[in-house]
Structure 1
Amino acid sequence: MPSRNKSQFSALLSNAGIDTETSEAVMEIDGILQNWRRRAVKRELGTRALADLGIALELAQFDVLSVIGAHVTEHEQGEVMVSTVAERLGIDPSRASRLVSEMVDKGYARRAVSQADARRTIIELTDRGTAVVDAVRAYKFMVMGDFLGTWDKSELAAFLPMIRRFGQWMDGIGASTEKHAAEIEALSRNLAESAKSRETA
């Protein structure tokens, strides 16, 4: 069965109470984000940064250093343990433990005793690890700064609050799914009917 075309999606969104202009924006943004996700999955920027900076680490190892170092930023607070690494990277605790051990063995991180609970082992960056994380962040900021430097100041002033606001759109997914429960149920029924028709074909 062929996929719905743009006009059919527009009609579907219109029936759900979403105006045409917003529908057009939704579909264009979705296309942009899909392309963005593909490039993010390939980790193009991270791979290039490690190569250009001559850092002999895999991306998974660098991710561990980033998580360990995140507690010193304004966005992440608190001590970092192996379980913290596993949670923030969405990986199995045994894999997190193995990656942390690799970083400790290579001298990028060290184990220490928690200041809050002496029975707890935490993970910290060494000076070498901090230098690596800072260098990659600086690389990323320079590349992004070079791109955004071509924008007008008024564009930057408008863009930042909008992308900050857009970054919160998934927070309201529950309210949206409740609002469009009937439409979602109809989509689910169509899927079930499609599956049955394939079984009987």
Structure 2
Amino acid sequence: MTDSEQDALTAVERAMVAVRRSQTRRSLGRLAPPDGEDRPVDPTLFGVLDAVEERDGACSVMDVAAALGVDQPRASRLVLRAADEGWLTRAPDPTDARRTLLALTSEGRDRLDRTHRLREQVFARAMADWPAADRVEFARLLTAFVEGFGREVGSAPRPAARDSSRVEERGI
């Protein structure tokens, strides 16, 4: 390995530590629009909505627990809170009556879409002085890195759960 390759690995490791510290402080989770009554929204509930969105119709409480890295009782409480907010529905799984399937309500979908748009605006401002080609390349490389890292650590996330073709269309 050349010195420049080692320097690049060191830079990636340091950047990932900085991202992890930022996530520990839930900075991304705090980037959620307030509800209609301007109440602050618990960022953890957006993790629930993100997990349900990612599974797209085949999501259980155990799936939410795995996505959030919490135990089943904690996931159940979070799912119940999201359902009480009107963001999720719960229905018995037709193939296994012991299991409950979760789905976003139209209000939950709206809340999630508004949050995604707000976060994308923050990311766009963070990269505002980048050339468009660099933003597109960064999106491609970051997505590839997340997928490769997930395979390496045994938890391949699905960063492209949303329509990733919009990256090139919007120049993000």
Q: State the TM-score, normalized to the length of structure 2.
A: 0.73
Aligned to 2:166: none
- 1: distance between equivalents of 2:53 and 2:145? 26
Of Structure 1 and Structure 2, the greater helix share is in 1
Find out whether 1:61 has 2:45 as its counterpart. Answer: yes
Equivalent position to 1:122, from 79, 101, 105: 101
Alignment of 1:19 onto 2:2: yes
Question: What CA RMSD, in Å, does the superposition of the two structures yield over aligned residues?
Answer: 2.6
Residue 135 of structure 1: how far off its partner (Å)? 0.8
Structure 2: 5+ residue stretches without partners: 155-172
Determine whether 1:86 maps to 2:65: yes
Alpha-carbon distance in structure 1 between the residues aligned to 2:127 and 2:58: 34
Quickly say closer, same or farther: Cα 1:61–1:151, change in 2 above 3 A: same
Map 1:24-173 → 2, pairs under 5 A? 24-50=7-33, 54=38, 56-72=40-56, 78-115=57-94, 117=95, 119=97, 120-167=99-146, 168-169=148-149, 171-172=151-152
Taking only the aligned residue pairs, the percentage that are identical comes to 26
Residues 24 and 80 (structure 1 numbering): CA distance in 2 closer, same or farther, change over 3 Å?
same
Kept in 1, the 8 Å contact 2:29–2:44? The answer is no
| Higher mean displacement: 155-164 or 136-145 | 155-164
- The letter for the 2-side match of 1:156 is R
C-alpha distance in structure 2 between counterparts of 1:52 and 1:109, whole Å: 15
Q: Rg bigger for which structure?
A: 1
Instruction: Output one character per residue of 1:43-100: Cα deviation in whole Å (capped at 9) or x when no partner.
Output: 213214345984543122221122122233xxxxx51111111111111101111111
* TM-score under structure 1 length normalisation: 0.64
How far apart, CA to CA, are the structure 1 residues paired with 2:53 and 2:139? 25
The residue type equivalent to 1:130 in the other structure is R
Deviation at 1:103, TM superposition (A): 1.7
Q: Which amino acid aligns with 1:66?
A: D
Count of matched residue positions in the alignment of Structure 1 and Structure 2? 151
Q: Displacement, 1:106? A: 2.4
By how many angstroms is 1:151 displaced? Answer: 1.6
